[in-house]
Structure formats: structure tokens, C-alpha cells
Structure 1
Amino acid sequence: MHPRAGQPAQPEDLIDVEKVLGLYYDTVPDVDDPVQQVVFGTSGHRGSSLNGSFTETHVAAITAAIVDYRRAQGIDGPLYVGRDTHALSEPAERTVLEVLVAAGVEVRVDARGSYTPTPAVSHSILLHNGAATSEGPRTAGPGIADGIVITPSHNPPTDGGIKYNATDGGPAGGDVTGWIARRANELVRSGLGSIDRTPYERAVASDLVVKHDYRATFVDDLPSVVDLEAIRAAGVRIGADPLGGASVEYWGVIGELYGLDLTVIHPDADPQFSFMTLDWDGKIRMDCSSPYAMASLREIMAVPDGGSAPYDLATGNDGDSDRHGIVTPDGGLMNPNHFLAVCIDYLFRNRSGWPASAGVGKTLVSSSLIDRVAADLGRPLIETPVGFKYFADGLLQTTMGFGGEESAGASFLRLDGTVWTTDKDGFILDLLAAEITAKTGASPSAYHRSLVARHGESWYARVDAPATREEKAALTALSPSAVTATTLAGEEITARLVTAPGNGEPIGGLKVTTANAWFAARPSGTEDVYKIYAESFVSPEHLEQVQDAARAVVADAIA
């Protein structure tokens, strides 16, 4: 833990924006260096110009690879492009447009020439592809659309990112991103000069670049997914903190248009994010699920003796607004797992227009409280590997009513049971917290306490353990038979999983369960560690025993 975690950023913590931008254009990446190769994680390629992992060459190559993929798949409709507020996002958007126009691709860009949240891009793709029609959205055929979002999500201000959203509106699957990454690395090796581009001033003036009002399209449609009138009528006081991200120009419009008692906290974008408090490791990181990054909002909501909080509810979002953070006067910053369980219980009890067979989507490292809630609701539980891409088809086909990740990303269906977005949406989760407050008269924290009283209290944590590259590779390739232990922290092991129960996809690691506890181990893609997620319904001491046992089980399995 950094000694200044949770404290306001100081001048020495801020990035040199000009240096970051200059290196974006000046650095020639070395494709033989693993750090400087194109690698798509769960949400696209991310990196920094400071270490040569996110440069003009990378972005041009990735965009050209996406063009090649679209041609191979017969995708000939417009490509929706959005960007967030990170310093590298604007130059990356310029590069993207230069390559797309040179390739003859029609591009839809923000009408205001400004920021576009990830959920707004997904929403517009789906509308273009027929989500609002009686036939429902298409994923193939003439004129079908897809998208690119330029964002490193909650990463530090030094970073940039780019991800591809497929024709289903959600993050592209691993087979697609793997192909794009391989092709992009071929182009990086060939050099920037090998990629066709139209100079930006000519490109942006081209008929191929069409201005699209993402904000109005998204904001005007919000009443179809959240009961905004109930929030207004109840007078729920909301403090919305964009954390300097792409939602910064959306929240004020939402509040004004729907007559909400909503105050935008930190209403300006700043590429240095100088107003932030430092995260656990002393870095500026727009992680709305981190108590350290959210320290200033938590302080605002802290109730003094004999006093009251200025808001009934405070919310946060990350850089591209696909994650949510919920702060209540009676509970502080909610654990994302706790809020996901609250959302699931509330939604499935209060969305009469949803399909009776729609299930609950969760990642296998999310809290088992969700399992108990889903069972109580009589809804199917669809447990997937980490990555929101695994929820896209379920939300699109409405076989899932809700899909959520332990890292504070989720989306759910419209009031009438049709698809809203197939990518994470921080707006509707924040607004749902206000709807819950308005309709139940209780905070989401109080709602969670009622779930605990019904289903039991649990203790959940994620820790890291050291691992070499060879050990991480062994962990990824494990079979269930590699686990020879029969008990875990005093309980009989009930399952040893290397594929997800909900879709049979490899989880890239291991999950071991008992009647009252579980752990999952996954290798880090960027550090010499593996991540241990664990939960106990017994006690915090038992959680520590589970974590210790997890290290021993993994060490034995990969030996």
C-alpha cells in the first residue's frame, strides 16, 4: 500500500502531457519486444507511449487490421467510433480516421467532436443494426455496423487504449481479437509507412465521416431502461462524479432533461486528472470501485455527528463510463459484488416485461451471493470466464436479463425485455441505484443488508501471489485432475473447474469450490503474479485460510 493512497494528487504525480503526446508520434515500436507488441486483453489493446506500447504505429496497424477483418467478414456498414478523455485518445482518434477513410470505410463520429462513453457506442451500434425493430438486432448482412472505442478504461493518465466492438455491439470475442492482434503485429513489423492513410484534415472533411449525436441518441432513450420519473418524483438527491471521464458531458444533460436533483461533481475534463486522489499503489487511476480513487467522494458522503450527507446517493464512473461506483450515506462505497447482487434481486422482482426464462450472467470470480440470489429468484445462473464479451450474446438474445462483472461492469435489458447495450454501462447502473432508492425507500446498502440477512454474510477478497512466466503458463493449461487435494480450508472440495459452467469456455486458470467457500486463480497478463479471488461464507478468518490453502493447491498443481 502506498503511503499516500487516498490522498489528493500533487504536482509531482501529474503527467507531462506534451511528452506523452510527443512520444505517441515519435516512437517506433520494436515488435520483437513483448511489451511493445499488440496484445488484446479482456478489453482491447492498452499501453503507454512512455514505454512504446501505445503509439501511432500501433493504432494505425490495429485499425488497418480491423479493416481487413471487416472485409473478410463482409461487414460493409458504418463503423461507430468513440473516444474518452485520456490525453492519448484524441490523437489516436485522428489516426483511426486517417486509416478508415483511406480504406473507404464510412465512419460515425461524435457530432460535438467530443467524448463518447463506451455504452453510447454499443447503444448506437445496436440501434443501427435493428435493436428497436420488431425483428430485433441483426449481426450480419448488408449495411451491418460495428465500432471502435478509444479508451484505456480506468488506467492511469499516461495510458491509451483501443478496442473493437463487433456487430453484436459488445466487445469482440477472443477469436476475433486474436486475429486482429496477429495481423496488426505483422503491420507493425512492416512499419507505419506500409499502412494507407488519408491526411487528417482531408479525412475529417470527407463524405465518409458522418457526424452522429451519440449523446442525444443515448440520453433520450434512457427512460426505456430505468424509471427516471420515479427518481424525479421521489426527489432523490444524486451527486454524480465522472472522475474526469467521458460521462463528464452527459450527467448534467441527464439531470436537466429529466428534472432530476442531480449535481455533477468535478464537471471538467483534465488530461492530467489532477483532482483525483491516488489509488492503492500511488498512481492516479480512475477506478470507481477503489476506495482510494473514490476517497474524495467518500469524504463528501461521510455523515458528520448529528448531520446529514449532501446527497442520498453518490455515483462514480471510470474513463469510458462503462463502470459504476455507488456511495451511500449509510454504507460508504459499496463493494461491486454487493451492488451486483442488489441489482439482480431488485431487477428480477421489478421488471415484469422481462422474459420469464431470462437468466443471470456472472463471471466465475464474482460473489457466490449472486448464486444464492439467482436460486432464490428461480432464475438460471450463467457463469462465464472473466470478460464482458461473454455476456454480449445473452443480452442480445435476451437469454440473460442481467450480466455483471466483479470489477463493477454490468448491463441489463430495457423495461420491455429487449436489449439495451451489450457492453458495460455505468450510467444505467448508477441510475438504477437511484431507482432502487426511490421505489424502496431504502439505500442500496440497506438493500444489501437485507440480502445478507436472507442468504448469509460472506467475505471476499482478491490477492496476488508471485509466479514465473512458466508457472503462469502451467496455470493456464491446468486440467481438473491436477488438483489432488480433497479438502479446502477444512471443507470437502465439491468442484474443480478449468472451464466455465455457463458456456464451457476455458477460464485461463482454476476454480475450486466447497459448500461455503471457493477460490479462483488466474495468471496476470502484465505482471509476474497470479491473482487469487476467494470468498468464504464462514468468517474473515476462514477467508484467510481459504487464501492460504489456495496458494498451496496452486503450487502443488503447477509443480
Structure 2
Amino acid sequence: MTSRAGTLAEPSDLIDPEAVSAAYYDLIPDVTNPAQKVVFGTSGHRGSSLDSAFNEAHIAAITQAIVEYRAGQGITGPLFIGRDTHILSGPAERTALEVLAGNGVHVLADAEGGYVPTPVVSHAIIAYNADPQNTDQADGIVVTPSHNPPRDGGFKYNPPHGGPADSDATTWIANRANEIIAGGNAEVKKSMVSPGRHDFLRGYVIDLAKIIDFEAIKKAGIRIGADPLGGASVEYWAAIRDAYDLDLTVMNPSVDPTWRFMTLDWDEKIRMDPSSASVMASVVARKDEFDITTGNDADADRHGIVTPDGGLMNPNHYLAVAIQYLYTHRPEWRSDAAIGKTLVSSSIIDKVAESLGRRLWEVPVGFKWFVPGLIDGSVAFGGEESAGASFLRADGTVWTTDKDGIILALLASEILAVTGKTPSQLYTELTEKFGDPVYQRVDAAASKEQKARLGKLSGDDITATELAGDPIIAKLSEAPGNGAAVGGVKVVTEKAWFAARPSGTEDVYKIYAESFEGPEHLKRVQEEAKTIVDAALGA
């Protein structure tokens, strides 16, 4: 059967918004069922109301738990709240506002009642806490499941550092929320007091001049096509165009809870992942109309970069180019500022770091690990293989501590304006210098018990000494950058590597692999990776 990936969604693919909204209020979760409990992943609690995994009881309890957590931490400043365009984000924001008001928390919501991207909430928290006139500390909530399908909802907490909460905070909040739900939400306090208002858009857009060289973009006449993919950045792109007088077209300003204008992802589901060629098919089709074309997911924490000569860039490729450019065009950054990457990102970044004479700071999956370095300037760039990154302002101070797909999209135009070359052309130059790696992620079946064992696996449990004919030089279960557990293993040779991590949502484990020896070698690495991991798991 022919795959429909990359083709326009059909009526049968679309959600019934009314049914999804009704289920939010009508279905009551049973927290003795693991599938209906509050569980914080790397980016908050996510699920669908239709599965009793994201309902009013969840959000009321999570918000009450956040109120108690912030009180325990002595956080007394305002709480910034923003939502994306998912159908469940509106009801969830309303629930959260009622609980926050019931507990007397000073809340700042969007001045126009509009959508607020994830990085904009992070930016607002950081700006408030950096102001010496403010003696208290602000934090925030973002209501978004990011790039997830239209039926899903998401809810995440950002403490005063502005980035994703660490596992200590999220574990406490999730456990407390489940206790509250188990008690019938009797401990939840609610009120209908209206929130305070904050001009998120103006504050963020004006500040962009401190991190992006708009003069260079304008002078070079770069023609930009920006597609919000129906997400929260839609008003922001128009505002950026007007504020900086750019030749910028908002390719699709539509917002529709069904996302009927999207092309289907690899599994024929509607997703707003700008790093997916299938999702970005309609954007790529217009690549010759612009010098740089970009996409963002629903909360704009991810980016997709399209060039006329190269099409949609692999996220790893663009991260390598962005790093090479930024560390040679930001003279005010600290000379000892490291390059941050997750350990499943391409090792061409390692080679770029070495050529720049910069320290590589390799951490587990999850943007939260970059937060301390971005705050103190010791890490000037932090990036994930899944097309999420942020970097410092031109003066070397913190911009956001959450992923910012808007600045990464704008950076592509700055790179072309300043160098005269597209990011695709610059990546080709990097491969000519360092080699051309082949990278892929695949899934392998695993039971819940095997996934649990994989998550606790030590590098010492790997008995293999060779991988695809080369000696193994490292077996890692802790990240080299900060010594944190990776929740799996990474095995490295001089020519290739693989990493295996359990999926948080499915009965599979993910195998990330890369080879500098071509596709056939990569396939061998993947096959042997499965054999090595299965042996360690006793499969």
C-alpha cells in the first residue's frame, strides 16, 4: 500500500474539535491506571483528552501542585502563562487560570489574549528576573504539547531560570498532582479572578535586535518565507517583518484546530514537526520563491530550515553550520564558552568544536541540561538533534533557557546575508573538511521490563569490543559533559557511534546511529547495535 506521508491531510485524518474539547471536561481520569496518571516527560505532561490522559482534573491538580511547589521554593513573583494553538490549550489555560486565581497567585497572561510561543515565555521570565527593580522571582507555565498531533494537549512548568523544570521539580509536581486527583481534586482551590496582562509580543520582538543582525539581513535583501505551521508564532512573524522592515512573507497565516492544511508525517499522522520532510512537504514545494524558507512547530521551540539549493536541512547539519557561524561572528562571547550538544547529536559538531578550539559540552537528551551554562554564559549555544536550540545574545548574556525556533530560523537569513552562502552550501564545506556522516534513528521492539533495564544499563554491561569492524573506544552510560545518566548507552568507535535509549511512550527502544563511512556501514552499525543491546538486556 502506498504511503500517504507528505500528502495533504484528508477529512478522515482530522479530529472533531468539539469531541476533543468535550472529553476534556467529561472524562475523569483513573490515576490507578498508569496511562491516565500525570507523568512529566522531558517537556511536561502530555496526552489526549480522548484517552483520559489530559483532562480538566489533570490540569487543575497539576496547577495546584505547581502553586504548592513554588510556595515551597519561596517563589512569590508573577507567573507568566502562555498557550499554543492546540484545541486543548485554550481549556487547559482557563483551568490553570482559575486555580492560580483561587490560590492568590499573580498571573500575567497575553495582553491580547493571543498565542504565546514557548521561547517567549522563557524570555519574559528571564527579563523579569534580571530587572534589579524586581525583588521577587517570576516563573511560568506553557500550555503546549509542542509538535504533537491535534488531539493532544501539553502542560509544562518553567521555574525562575526560565527553562524546563528539572526532574526533581517535575517528579514532585507529578506525584503531588496524582495525590490530588486520587482525592477527587478536593484540595484544588478555584476562583474566576481575571489575570494580569503582559505584552509578550512587543517585549520579545523588540529584544530580537540584541541577538540577530537584522541590518545585515535587510541590506542583503534576503527574501524570507516563514511558515508557522498553524502554530503560536503566527503573529510574531508578521510583527518581526514590520518591526525590522524585512522582505518576509508569512506563508500560511491560518490557525485551525484540525490542522487541515498540513501534510502528513511519516506515519500518516498530522504533526507539526518542522524537521520532518513529510510534514514540511508543502513548505519545501515553495523553496524557490525565497532565499530562505523556515518552519516552526506549534509552540515555536523547533525550527526547520529550507534552502533553494538543498531543500529541507537535516537538523544536525544546520546545528553544525549555526555553531560554526556563531562562534566566528559573535566577538563578545566568552572565549572559553563551550558548545553544548546532546549526546545523540551528530559528531560532526565534535569536529567543528575541535576546529574552533572550543570545549564540547555533551549532555543527555533534554534541553534542561543546557540551562545553567546558558544562564552564566559558560555555554554559548545549546542544541538538540531534534531541531531545538538556543544561543546567547550578541553581548554574551542569556536570551532564553528554552529552545527558540524563531531565532534559529532568523539566524539562517543572517548567515546567508553575512557569508553570501546558504546554510546548505556551508554544510557541504564542512563535510569537505571533516567528512560526510550518515545519521539515522530507528526503533527496535522491547518489553517494558527490557526498557526499564536499558534505562539503567551501565557501559560496563556492554561486552562487545568491536562495532562494524572497528575497536570500541568508549561505552558511555553517563554524559561526558556533566556526568549525568543518559538513560541508556552510547558506544563509540573512531568511525561511528550508536546510542540506545528506551522510548517513553511506546514498547520500543530508539537506536541513534552515525557513520562517517557511508550508508552501508551505517546499516551494519545499526544491525550490530541491536545485537549488542539485546545481548546486554538478555533478550
Q: TM-score, normalised by structure 2?
A: 0.99
Quick one: which amino acid aligns to residue 507 of structure 2? D
Please say if residues 76 and 142 of structure 1, whose CA atoms lie closer than 8 Å, have aligned partners that are also in contact.
Answer: no
The aligned runs of 1:285-296 (5 Å cut-off) are: 285-296=271-282
Which 10-residue stretch deviates more, 2-11 or 333-342?
2-11
Please say if residues 359 and 402 of structure 1, whose CA atoms lie closer than 8 Å, have aligned partners that are also in contact.
Answer: yes
Give 2:318's match in structure 1, choosing from 316, 327, 339. Answer: 339
Tell me the equivalent position of 1:392: 371
| Cα drift, residue 143 of structure 1 | 1.1
Tell me the equivalent position of 1:547: 526
Question: What is the alpha-carbon distance in structure 1 between the residues aligned to residue 183 and residue 326 of structure 2?
Answer: 51
The aligned runs of 1:391-410 (5 Å cut-off) are: 391-410=370-389
Tell me the equivalent position of 2:489: 510
| Cα drift, residue 142 of structure 1 | 4.7
Question: What is the alpha-carbon distance in structure 2 between the residues aligned to residue 456 and residue 129 of structure 1?
Answer: 44
Is 1:145 aligned to residue 138 of structure 2? yes
The aligned runs of 1:218-229 (5 Å cut-off) are: 218-229=204-215
Partner secondary structure for residue 286 of structure 2? helix
| Cα drift, residue 531 of structure 1 | 0.1
Question: What is the alpha-carbon distance in structure 2 between the residues aligned to residue 515 and residue 457 of structure 1?
Answer: 14
Is 1:238 aligned to residue 224 of structure 2? yes
Tell me the equivalent position of 1:304: none
The aligned runs of 1:239-258 (5 Å cut-off) are: 239-258=225-244
Tell me the equivalent position of 1:478: 457
Tell me the equivalent position of 1:267: 253
The aligned runs of 1:34-433 (5 Å cut-off) are: 34-130=34-130, 142-198=135-191, 202-204=192-194, 209-301=195-287, 309-433=288-412
Quick one: which amino acid aligns to residue 417 of structure 1? G
What do residues 243-285 of structure 1 show as CA deviations (whole Å, max 9, x unaligned)?
Answer: 0000011101101110100000110211111100000111100
Quick one: which amino acid aligns to residue 150 of structure 2? P
Quick one: which amino acid aligns to residue 180 of structure 2? L
Please say if residues 180 and 186 of structure 2, whose CA atoms lie closer than 8 Å, have aligned partners that are also in contact.
Answer: no
Quick one: which amino acid aligns to residue 26 of structure 2? D
Partner secondary structure for residue 220 of structure 1? helix
| Cα drift, residue 194 of structure 1 | 3.4
Quick one: which amino acid aligns to residue 173 of structure 2? I
Tell me the equivalent position of 2:469: 490
Quick one: which amino acid aligns to residue 74 of structure 1? G
Is 1:524 aligned to residue 517 of structure 2? no
Partner secondary structure for residue 500 of structure 2? strand
Question: What is the alpha-carbon distance in structure 2 between the residues aligned to residue 284 and residue 178 of structure 1?
Answer: 30
Please say if residues 78 and 106 of structure 1, whose CA atoms lie closer than 8 Å, have aligned partners that are also in contact.
Answer: yes
| Cα drift, residue 341 of structure 1 | 0.2
Q: What's the C-alpha RMSD, in Å, of the aligned pairs? A: 1.1
Question: What is the alpha-carbon distance in structure 2 between the residues aligned to residue 2 and residue 231 of structure 1?
Answer: 42
| Cα drift, residue 297 of structure 1 | 0.6
| Cα drift, residue 2 of structure 1 | 7.0
Query: After TM superposition, which residue ranges in structure 1, 4 or more long, deviate above 6 angstroms?
Result: none
Question: What is the alpha-carbon distance in structure 2 between the residues aligned to residue 156 and residue 449 of structure 1?
Answer: 34
Question: What is the alpha-carbon distance in structure 1 between the residues aligned to residue 438 and residue 378 of structure 2?
Answer: 30
| Cα drift, residue 480 of structure 1 | 1.6
Quick one: which amino acid aligns to residue 203 of structure 1? V
Of all paired residues, the percent bearing the same amino acid is: 60
Tell me the equivalent position of 1:138: none
Quick one: which amino acid aligns to residue 5 of structure 2? A
Q: Return 5+ residue gaps in structure 2 as ranges.
A: none
What do residues 284-332 of structure 1 show as CA deviations (whole Å, max 9, x unaligned)?
Answer: 000000000000011111xxxxxxx110010000010010000001000
Partner secondary structure for residue 439 of structure 2? strand
Please say if residues 99 and 188 of structure 2, whose CA atoms lie closer than 8 Å, have aligned partners that are also in contact.
Answer: yes
Question: What is the alpha-carbon distance in structure 2 between the residues aligned to residue 389 and residue 318 of structure 1?
Answer: 19
Question: What is the alpha-carbon distance in structure 2 between the residues aligned to residue 188 and residue 386 of structure 1?
Answer: 30
| Cα drift, residue 222 of structure 1 | 0.4
Quick one: which amino acid aligns to residue 228 of structure 2? P
| Cα drift, residue 192 of structure 1 | 3.2
Partner secondary structure for residue 193 of structure 2? helix
Quick one: which amino acid aligns to residue 168 of structure 2? D
Question: What is the alpha-carbon distance in structure 2 between the residues aligned to residue 65 and residue 499 of structure 1?
Answer: 31
Quick one: which amino acid aligns to residue 435 of structure 1? E
Quick one: which amino acid aligns to residue 94 of structure 2? R
Please say if residues 475 and 508 of structure 1, whose CA atoms lie closer than 8 Å, have aligned partners that are also in contact.
Answer: yes
Question: What is the alpha-carbon distance in structure 2 between the residues aligned to residue 41 and residue 514 of structure 1?
Answer: 31
| Cα drift, residue 166 of structure 1 | 1.2
What do residues 444-498 of structure 1 show as CA deviations (whole Å, max 9, x unaligned)?
Answer: 0001001111111100000000000010011111112210100000000000001
Quick one: which amino acid aligns to residue 323 of structure 1? R
Is 1:450 aligned to residue 429 of structure 2? yes
Q: TM-score, normalised by structure 1?
A: 0.95
Question: What is the alpha-carbon distance in structure 1 between the residues aligned to residue 254 and residue 238 of structure 2?
Answer: 11
Question: What is the alpha-carbon distance in structure 1 between the residues aligned to residue 245 and residue 190 of structure 2?
Answer: 46
Quick one: which amino acid aligns to residue 349 of structure 1? T
Please say if residues 488 and 549 of structure 1, whose CA atoms lie closer than 8 Å, have aligned partners that are also in contact.
Answer: yes
- 1:217–1:329 CA distance, 2 compared to 1 (3 A): same
Aligned residue-pair number: 538
| Cα drift, residue 26 of structure 1 | 0.6
Tell me the equivalent position of 1:466: 445
Is 1:501 aligned to residue 501 of structure 2? no
Q: Return 5+ residue gaps in structure 1 as ranges.
A: 136-140, 302-308
Quick one: which amino acid aligns to residue 461 of structure 1? Q
Quick one: which amino acid aligns to residue 520 of structure 1? A
Please say if residues 522 and 530 of structure 1, whose CA atoms lie closer than 8 Å, have aligned partners that are also in contact.
Answer: yes
What do residues 331-381 of structure 1 show as CA deviations (whole Å, max 9, x unaligned)?
Answer: 000000000000000000000010111000000000000000001001110
Please say if residues 147 and 165 of structure 1, whose CA atoms lie closer than 8 Å, have aligned partners that are also in contact.
Answer: yes
Quick one: which amino acid aligns to residue 169 of structure 2? V
Partner secondary structure for residue 161 of structure 1? strand
Quick one: which amino acid aligns to residue 172 of structure 1? A
